[in-house]
Amino acid sequence: MGNSALEFAVLAHLEGAELVQAELARRSGVSETAVQLVLDPLVARGLVRRQPQGAEPATFRLTMTGVKRLKGHREYSEARAGREWRKPSAEPEKPRPVTWTRAGETPPRQEGKPSLAQALVEQLEHAVLTEAELVRRTGAPANDVQAVLDELVAETFVDRLEQDGLATEYELTEAGLGRLKLVRELAGSPMSVMLQVLGPAAMEAVQGRRSPAAKVRKSRQRLSNDERAACSTALAEQFGFGRIDIAELHRRTDLLLAATTRNDLGAVFEGLPHPVLDQASAGRPAPGWRSGAAGCTSIVSVFFGLMGLALINGHDDVDDVVFGLVLVGGAVVWNYLVWSWARRRVN
């Protein structure tokens, strides 16, 4: 019985029961030493709790984390059994290409690396497995499995669990679970995932000028001579409408002359309609050459957007798909920024 099989056998025996090490060895059909080698990592990882009994042998019971791990392993085993009992495809399996290497050289990795990485992540979704077990389950060469595992560990998708005297095991991390979920969503509906990833960024770019932070910055903007003149004209109009008398007009005019920022205009127009200063401070229309420059850059950005769509639809590797999403989103945001610049008025 392998370490992984013995590990889950021990978890199954401890489900709903509190047993000593000798009883676990008897039920599992192995020696107490083998059970001890499995119990120590389980206790260290919080799946099993050891309860000392004084002079009596210590008892072991399952924790809530161990119950979740056992439940996930059973669900994975049922799903895997269902896949193995499906009717085989009528299409013959394509032969794997044979690569010859010299003695002492490391054989090159074969094609299909993205699918192998995905297969390893799926195998580790509900179980902690060794490299030998992963090789047996995926049917891939040991060199390819080891190389892909090293990359997954470096990318923090998989944790390597070193054990004294036992084979090294591999466990999926939270980042690996997120990668697996993203790949499955991309396989189901790539466009919906693209909208989920790029939607908030696009809305933020479109509503950037309307954000509260932009309004706060505009309220702290210093008044220009044109804006001050527009405010003075507005006060004169309110005097002509009869909303304020001559004394109130002089008082508010003094406040206007003392105001330095738009935030200070609240006291000047208290109880009166505020003038629209954006139209007063608007400059001349943008020159025509900006539209031509924006059009040229838009053509280039469209090329990158099409290349991103090709990466999304034609590749299985999550890195290529994410890079494609970045290209498409970058093209959208770039077009918005360029055309906003082309239509911006100049002073």
Tens digit of pLDDT at every position of the chain (347 positions): 556 778 888 888 888 788 888 888 888 888 888 888 888 888 888 888 888 888 888 898 888 888 888 887 777 666 666 655 554 544 555 555 544 545 445 445 444 445 788 888 888 888 888 888 888 888 888 888 998 999 889 888 898 888 777 888 898 888 888 888 877 776 665 555 555 555 555 555 545 444 454 455 556 778 888 888 888 888 888 888 888 888 898 899 888 888 888 888 888 888 888 887 765 445 556 666 777 777 788 888 888 888 888 877 766 667 777 788 888 888 888 888 888 877 765 55
What is the number of other CB atoms lying within 10 angstroms of the CB of residue 186? 21
CA 286 – CA 142 distance, rounded (Å): 64
Q: How far apart are CA 252 and CA 19, in angstroms?
A: 87
Indicate the residue type of 236.
A
Cα separation of 214 and 278, whole Å?
Answer: 14
Which tokens is 280 given? 């007063």
**Helix (H) or strand (E) segment spanning residue 278:** helix 277-281
Residue whose pair of structure tokens reads 């070193």 in the numeric block: 162
- Is 52 in a helix, a strand, or coil? strand
Phi-psi region of 60 (alpha: psi -120 to 50; beta: other; left: phi over 0): beta
Per the CB < 8 A criterion, the answer to whether 230 and 275 are in contact is yes
